[in-house]
Amino acid sequence: MPDIDASPGLVEDLVDANHILFHQGIVDAFGHVSVRNDRDPGRFLLARNMAPAQVTAADVVEYEVASGEAVAPDAPRPYLERFIHSEIYRARPDVVAVVHNHSPAVLPFGIVKGARLRPACHMCGFLGEGPPLFEIRDHAGDATDLLIRSRELGAALARTLGAARVVLMRGHGCTVVADSLRLAVYRAVYTEVNARLLLQSLPLGEVEYLTPEEADAGHTTEGQVDRPWNLWRAQARAARQA
C-alpha cells in the first residue's frame, strides 16, 4: 500500500471506482478518476499514468490540489491531464470526486453544434438544463492536442464547469463531479446512459425532456447510490477474478 494518510478504505474505494468505470464502459485505456483526501482537503488521490482497469492500491498517488503535482518527489509518472482534477478541487471546495472520460455516447454532444445533453430520464436529473461546453480554442487557440496539459487550462475548464455537475469538452469527452466518489461514478455512468437514450430517441421524433423541477426532484434517486455501487463493484470484482 502507498504511504498515504487517508481513511482506511479510501484507496480501496478508488481502486474499485477505476474498475467499475472500465467495466461500465465509461473509461477505456484512457480516462481517470480521483478522490479528495478526507483527512487533508488540500490533497487528492489519483492513479499513476496507466489504464484504469489495471489500477491496484500500489498505483495510487497523492497529489497537491494547489499545484497538481505529486506530494512525493519520487512519484511515478502522472497523467498529463491531472490538472483537470487539481483545478476543479481548487475552484470547488464542495467537490470530493472527479471523473474524466471520453465515453462514446457523450462525445457527439460536445461535437455537434447546438446539440444539448439535457436530461431525458429520471436517473439523470443531475444534468440540470444540460452541461456547459468547454471550447479549448477559446483559451489556447486552434492548434492544441485538446488535452488539459496545464494548470491554466484546468482552471479554464473549472470556470466553464461553474456550479454544474458535468462539463462537456468539445472533441474530447467530459468531466463529472460529485460530493462523494460513489456519486461521481454514478453520474459518469448515467451521463453516458442519458446520452445513449437521446441518440436512440432523437431519430424517432421530438424528445420530451425533464422540466427543471423534474430534474431537481430526481436527486432523491441519488440517495440510493449505494445500490448501483454495490452491484457494479461486485460485477467488476468478479470480472477481475474471471
- Strands (E) across 103-146 are located at 133-134
How far is CA 32 from each of CA 100, 118, 137, 203, 229, rounded to the nearest angstrom?
Answer: 5, 24, 23, 32, 17
Residue found by looking up cell 518527489 in the block? 73
Cell of 84: 483537470
Chain-centroid distance, C-alpha 18: 11
The question of whether 192 is a catalytic residue gets the answer: no
Quick one: angle between helices 181-201 and 226-241, nearest 10? 90
CA distance 138 to 86: 21
Chain-centroid distance, C-alpha 1: 24
CA distance 101 to 27: 6
Q: Please pick, among 81, 87, 192, 222, the residue that the annotation labels catalytic.
A: 81
CA-CA-CA-CA torsion sign (64, 69, 75, 79): positive
DSSP codes, 157-214: HHHHHTT-SEEEETTTEEEEEESSHHHHHHHHHHHHHHHHHHHHHGGGS---PPPHHH
Residues taking part in catalysis = 81
